[in-house]
Structure 1
Amino acid sequence: MSTFSGLNTAWTGMSAARRSLETAGQNIANVGVEGYTRQRVETASAAGVSTIGRLSGPSSAGHGVSVTGIARLADAQLDERARGTAAISAQTGAISAGLSTLESSLREPGSAGLSAALNDFWAGWQDVANQPGEPAPAAVVIARGTALAQQLGALHGEFTQQWDTQHQGLRAEVAEVNALAERVGTLNAQIRSATASGADSGAMLDQRTQLTARLAELTGATVRAQPDGTTDVLLSGTPLVAGTSARTLELAGGSRLQDAAAPQLRWSHRAADDAGSTLSLESGALGARLALLAPAEPDGTGGALAQASSTLDAIAVELATQVNAVQAAGVSTAGTPGGPFFSLDPARAAASLTVRARGAEDLAAATPGQGALDGSNAARLAQLGELAAGPDAIWAGLVVTTGTAVRHAAQSAVNTSLAHVAALEQQQAQAGVSLDEENIALLTHQHAYQGAARVLTAVDQMLDTLINRTGVVGR
């Protein structure tokens, strides 16, 4: 190694230290930026030139240091774990929120719940039994029946509104997924070009990581890296993003609570009759909404909102059927046969339940042949609330089922949220910026720069002595 090569060795050390200082400064400047992945300068020793033959010199120490690149300190496995836990956490959180809203609509236990309205209604019939033919207790039981019918209709309206809100949220999230997929495809093209030209693509990689994390949160998507720097985004094994091209989803199926068909996600590029056009999601916020919006099933395993609405219809039908049947078996104080107390449309039972009775003459309080002041038939009406399969029992079953589901969903949401937080902490421990570490790096690289500069000064002084002072003895 010649003396002049020492200048190059010192210069490479200064250059590497400067790049490292700039990178540490970049990390510190972005410490509060969401999604930023810290960077580190990668260096390698520049080996000395090897020579062979009779004129070869002694082994040299090397030619300094070379900067081989700037690495993003991200971990693919930690990123994948963060995406997976985000999908499950979003799913359980959305289900818990939906069920909690449903439970709050039931208003149980409390005086505003349907149980209290049913109890008041049956108690009104007991008053009619004690005072058959009297207008005051008759007016009370009719008013309580009307309030009960209105409360059933109001509950049905709340369930319908909640279903519509979930459906609107699903539609908005499908549009968001399509926009995110398009953006990921664009970033793939930009990253591939930057990688091929050797340009820095760190900021674009950070953006793509954030976008794919959001896609995973919405749909449970998985990511597959490609050798050219692009990533594919898969939904249930089918590419949503493949290289620079992105596919789109569309919402099909039922759009109302009353529709028998379930809302479905479809691939817009496939025909509706294609067996593979429908997309099934097992996790993510969209998967949760699809589960909440599913139609009711006879075995009670359908969507929570449709199942609750179906139960309200069953309560209305059972209430009208049982009360009208006992009414038909009795007579009024005037001896006329009892007519229907309730009427409804079977296609929309809870929403259409109304009271037909208008006064004491419409109430069949007596048993035929027992006299005008008999109230035994009204007493039988008062006992309908105790039936094992009556309206009260059906309502109690809905309240218990909903409460159990809410508790289970809330616990699942807490557990999955803790798992997601733990995954994010591990991800940030690897990719996040630590001010302490970066300050230490600044001091380290500053001293390295000063050391290399000192070497440069020493070599400069050696060359000055060699060039300007050698051979001047005796002059």
Structure 2
Amino acid sequence: MSSGLFSIARSALLAHQTALQTVSQNIANAQTPGYSRQETVLQPNTPVRFSYGSVGTGVSVTTIIRKRDVLLDDSFRSANTLAGDAGMRRDLMSQLESVFGEPSDAGMANALDQFWNAFSDLSSQPNSLAARAVVQQRGRQLGQLFNDYDTQLTTIRGSTLERLDNSVARINALASQVAELNVRIVGSESSGNTANDLRDARDLKLDELSKIAGARVVPQPNGSVSVLIGNSMLVEADTATPLTVQFETPNPLPSTPLTDVPVRIRLGNSLDRLAPLAGELAAQVTVINTEIPNVRGRLNAMASQLVTAVNTLHTTGFTFTGSTIPGTAAGNFFNAGSLAAPVSAANIRLDAAIAADPSKIAASGSATAPTNNTVAQGLSLLRSKEGTVTWNAPSGATETGSFIGFFRGLVTRLGIQTSSATDDANVAEGLTDQAELRRQSVSGVNTDEELVNMLRVQQSYQAATKMIKAAQEMLDTLIGLA
């Protein structure tokens, strides 16, 4: 009888010692990222059957479970994917919007106004070399502003490409780590135990993958997970397939400027684009392949058609040296470019003759009238002329307007896109926070609750020690009787 009591009490001491260790582990890792609360599962030992009934033989630890809900994990990762996409899109679109910095005295709208004003002033003083010098200066400033915008777009594209390379490298690293953890988890759990800490480590990697690439997780019966990115398998069992970033050769040239050659993400040896993309990866590729080329395309259309409109009018004019009549036919105001290097925001500049000598700027439309101002006046009226800029979007839509109206439309569109991305990011981040709170309500460690559990387990442990003491007294009594 007493030996049975000793055995039961001993099992209680061991079981509650394990439970106390689990509580201690929870408290110790309350602030550890990715840690899931653990719980000791107890069960009664197999009872001994007698003629008068069954007698219990104590308690044992069945397992230590990890408090985790797969559905809540999926919900969090879905929200995390949206937050990654929207947050990255917000950051990158904000950079694009900051290129123009409108409204500003140093921006394109003001530069265009000053350019047209300079021609208006010249029309009032068609013989003035000083007025021509101002036109020359405003034209040079306008061309330089286009050049600066193009340079900044190229810089943003370069930094975004670098981000994309880093994201792909991080995805590959995480995928390899998940595959390695799959192997360790399957090996560890082959004996029937649950590898709680390894599963926590793997879930932390999967959470990060969901934000960067929108990875979807498919648990397998053996304890491993398969990870899908797009519609392709990134990780399966112990195998991780790497991603690569490649440039797509534009065809035909020069339909796509070399500064905006699109990129594609490939998985392993596949020749196809990885699709559909999600998370930060999707935002980065969209900005590189769509947003930056669209902004640059609009700027190139403005620069090219500005050059065409100004040169077309300017070449109808005449310049005069002293009182010499007839005057000399004027040349181009801006460099007209070539078939191999058409005019764009990157290369717009004054014609070499105009850049060297402001007297080559025409104001008169008559070879015999130095004081005529029809060319200068016509150039100043380009300010408000509708339909001077036309751009065909890749979607097939056509955008048209005056120079200043078209530019304001470009800036307004960027502002709307940035504002929309900011709103989307705020909503997605809120949803992610809510999903994390729901997940933490199951898997997070509440130290107050753990302290209560500790007291409860401690009392059970103390009761088991008292039971041993009672059994000892009973044994001593029996010995004394003998």
Fold shared per TM-score above 0.5 = yes
5 Å matches for 1:123-138?
123-138=117-132
Separation in 1 of the partners of 2:127 and 2:201? 77
5 Å matches for 1:193-212?
193-198=187-192, 201-212=195-206
1:288 aligns with 2:283: yes
1:78 aligns with 2:77: no
Report the alpha carbon displacement of residue 451 of structure 1 after superposing the two structures with TM. Answer: 0.8
Separation in 1 of the partners of 2:32 and 2:197? 11
Report the alpha carbon displacement of residue 197 of structure 1 after superposing the two structures with TM. Answer: 2.9
Amino acid at match of 1:339: G
Separation in 1 of the partners of 2:274 and 2:360? 56
- Specify the alignment match of 1:151 in structure 2: 145
Separation in 1 of the partners of 2:342 and 2:215? 40
Stretch deviating more after TM superposition (225-234 or 352-361):
352-361
5 Å matches for 1:10-29?
10-29=9-28
Separation in 2 of the partners of 1:71 and 1:257? 58
Separation in 2 of the partners of 1:401 and 1:197? 60
Amino acid at match of 2:481: T
- Specify the alignment match of 1:469 in structure 2: 480
1:37 aligns with 2:24: no
Paired residue secondary structure (1:70): strand
* Alignment counterpart, residue 238 of structure 2, candidates 244, 252, 268: 244
Paired residue secondary structure (1:449): helix
Report the alpha carbon displacement of residue 260 of structure 1 after superposing the two structures with TM. Answer: 6.3
Paired residue secondary structure (2:32): coil
Cα separation, partners in 2 of 1:249 and 1:42, compared to 1, 3 Å: same
Report the alpha carbon displacement of residue 470 of structure 1 after superposing the two structures with TM. Answer: 2.1
- Specify the alignment match of 1:380 in structure 2: 378
In the alignment, is the contact (CA less than 8 A) between 2:231 and 2:275 conserved in 1?
Answer: no
Cα distance per residue 1:400-437 (max 9 Å; x no partner) = 11111111111001000100111111112211111101
Paired residue secondary structure (1:36): coil
Amino acid at match of 1:457: K
Separation in 2 of the partners of 1:258 and 1:246? 33
Report the alpha carbon displacement of residue 370 of structure 1 after superposing the two structures with TM. Answer: 7.3
Report the alpha carbon displacement of residue 77 of structure 1 after superposing the two structures with TM. Answer: 1.0
- Specify the alignment match of 1:218 in structure 2: 212
- Specify the alignment match of 2:390 in structure 1: none
- Specify the alignment match of 1:331 in structure 2: 318
Paired residue secondary structure (1:366): coil
Paired residue secondary structure (2:17): helix
Paired residue secondary structure (2:330): coil
Report the alpha carbon displacement of residue 442 of structure 1 after superposing the two structures with TM. Answer: 0.9
Amino acid at match of 2:157: W
Paired residue secondary structure (1:264): strand
Report the alpha carbon displacement of residue 259 of structure 1 after superposing the two structures with TM. Answer: 5.5
* Alignment counterpart, residue 394 of structure 1, candidates 397, 406, 410: 406
TM-score (ref. length: structure 1): 0.91
- Specify the alignment match of 1:404 in structure 2: 416
Separation in 1 of the partners of 2:367 and 2:147? 38
Separation in 2 of the partners of 1:238 and 1:25? 42
Separation in 1 of the partners of 2:221 and 2:48? 33
Separation in 2 of the partners of 1:75 and 1:403? 41
Paired residue secondary structure (1:291): helix
Separation in 2 of the partners of 1:324 and 1:269? 51
Separation in 2 of the partners of 1:293 and 1:347? 23
- Specify the alignment match of 1:426 in structure 2: 438
Cα distance per residue 1:185-231 (max 9 Å; x no partner) = 11111111100134562221111001111111111110011111111
Separation in 2 of the partners of 1:167 and 1:233? 25
In the alignment, is the contact (CA less than 8 A) between 1:132 and 1:333 conserved in 2?
Answer: no
Paired residue secondary structure (1:342): coil
Separation in 1 of the partners of 2:231 and 2:43? 41
Separation in 1 of the partners of 2:262 and 2:197? 41
Stretch deviating more after TM superposition (346-355 or 133-142):
346-355
Stretch deviating more after TM superposition (106-115 or 362-371):
362-371
- Specify the alignment match of 2:265 in structure 1: 265
Separation in 2 of the partners of 1:308 and 1:278? 24
* Alignment counterpart, residue 226 of structure 2, candidates 222, 226, 232: 232
Stretch deviating more after TM superposition (281-290 or 435-444):
281-290
Amino acid at match of 2:131: P
- Specify the alignment match of 1:351 in structure 2: 346
- Specify the alignment match of 1:438 in structure 2: 450
In the alignment, is the contact (CA less than 8 A) between 1:81 and 1:423 conserved in 2?
Answer: yes
In the alignment, is the contact (CA less than 8 A) between 2:116 and 2:380 conserved in 1?
Answer: yes
- Specify the alignment match of 2:253 in structure 1: none
Stretch deviating more after TM superposition (436-445 or 40-49):
40-49
Cα distance per residue 1:317-376 (max 9 Å; x no partner) = 111111111112222345222211001435451111111214453222122267221223
Aligned residues: percent identity? 29
Paired residue secondary structure (2:345): helix
5 Å matches for 1:361-372?
361-368=359-366, 371-372=369-370
Separation in 1 of the partners of 2:13 and 2:343? 81
Cα distance per residue 1:133-153 (max 9 Å; x no partner) = 211111011011001101100
Cα distance per residue 1:244-296 (max 9 Å; x no partner) = 111111111249963665210112233x3xxxx321133111111111111xx
Separation in 1 of the partners of 2:445 and 2:211? 24
Separation in 1 of the partners of 2:247 and 2:367? 57
Separation in 2 of the partners of 1:426 and 1:347? 58
Separation in 1 of the partners of 2:61 and 2:174? 35
In the alignment, is the contact (CA less than 8 A) between 1:318 and 1:390 conserved in 2?
Answer: no
- Specify the alignment match of 2:90 in structure 1: 96
Separation in 2 of the partners of 1:67 and 1:28? 20
In the alignment, is the contact (CA less than 8 A) between 1:219 and 1:287 conserved in 2?
Answer: yes
Separation in 2 of the partners of 1:165 and 1:339? 40
Amino acid at match of 1:96: R
- Specify the alignment match of 1:184 in structure 2: 178
* Alignment counterpart, residue 319 of structure 1, candidates 293, 306, 327: 306
Separation in 2 of the partners of 1:440 and 1:200? 25
- Specify the alignment match of 1:413 in structure 2: 425
Stretch deviating more after TM superposition (258-267 or 404-413):
258-267
Amino acid at match of 2:474: M
TM-score (ref. length: structure 2): 0.90
In the alignment, is the contact (CA less than 8 A) between 1:90 and 1:285 conserved in 2?
Answer: yes
Paired residue secondary structure (1:4): helix
Amino acid at match of 2:126: P
Report the alpha carbon displacement of residue 130 of structure 1 after superposing the two structures with TM. Answer: 0.8
Report the alpha carbon displacement of residue 107 of structure 1 after superposing the two structures with TM. Answer: 1.1
